[in-house]
């Protein structure tokens, strides 16, 4: 399967270009580039590679009317299950890169936290706590990403407080 260079992750793949040029007698090269959703997803998953992730199934809801589309878009979407998704201006790929990266980060970390909590592992609670604190920090320190909602910060603070109270109560019940 060919790979596309994502500079933050696998820029070393570009080292193959001189070999490709020599082997084929080319002056140019073929270097593909991934689309915007692939880059953000790949960057979010890169740190998790060390945990042995072998496969990820992802769905992106991209519009068929993307810039530079060759031909009549309606011909390709004719028998599509979801023939129309309104509000393209709100589409993921039209958002700021900080918003995209944050959204993918939370999509991945919340899933990892959910699995950890479901399996009752010690790291599940740690990852969940990281998501709670991360969301509060993003809302407070970087209001341009999600809007800086104090309601979200308050909700996260309540969740964190509830967790700490329940953890303290559980620790008191355990024998020494």
pLDDT > 70? residue 121? yes
DSSP H stretches of helix in 25-149: 36-45, 73-76, 97-118, 122-141, 143-146
CA distances from 148 to 137, 160, 176 (A): 9, 18, 43
Longest CA–CA span in the chain (Å) reads 74
Structure tokens at 17: 């270009």
Q: How many CA atoms lie within 13 A of 86 on its CB side?
A: 0
**Per-residue pLDDT band at 27 (split at 50, 70, 90):** confident
pTM to 2 decimals?
0.47
CA distance from start to end of the chain: 55
Q: Are 135 and 156 in contact (CB under 8 A)?
A: yes
Calpha distance 91→36 (Å, rounded): 12
Which residue from 71, 34, 42 is spatially nearest to 58, judged by alpha carbons?
42
Q: Are 160 and 132 in contact (CB under 8 A)?
A: yes
Model pLDDT, residue 82? 46
Model pLDDT, residue 61? 61
């Amino acid at each position: 399967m060919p790979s596309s260079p994502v500079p933050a992750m696998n820029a070393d793949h570009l080292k193959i270009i001189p070999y490709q040029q020599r082997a084929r007698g080319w002056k140019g090269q073929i270097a593909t580039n991934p689309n915007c959703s692939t880059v953000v997803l790949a960057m979010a998953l890169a740190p998790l590679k060390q945990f042995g992730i072998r496969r990820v199934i992802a769905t992106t809801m991209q519009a068929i009317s993307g810039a530079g589309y060759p031909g009549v878009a309606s011909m390709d979407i004719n028998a599509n299950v979801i023939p129309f998704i309104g509000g393209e201006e709100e589409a993921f790929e039209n958002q700021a890169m900080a918003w995209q990266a944050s959204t993918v980060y939370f999509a991945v970390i919340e899933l990892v936290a959910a699995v950890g909590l479901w399996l009752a592992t010690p790291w599940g609670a740690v990852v969940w706590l990281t998501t709670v604190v991360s969301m509060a920090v993003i809302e407070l320190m970087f209001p341009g990403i999600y809007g800086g909602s104090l309601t979200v910060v308050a909700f996260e603070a309540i969740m964190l407080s509830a967790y700490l109270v329940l953890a303290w109560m559980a620790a008191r019940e355990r024998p020494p």
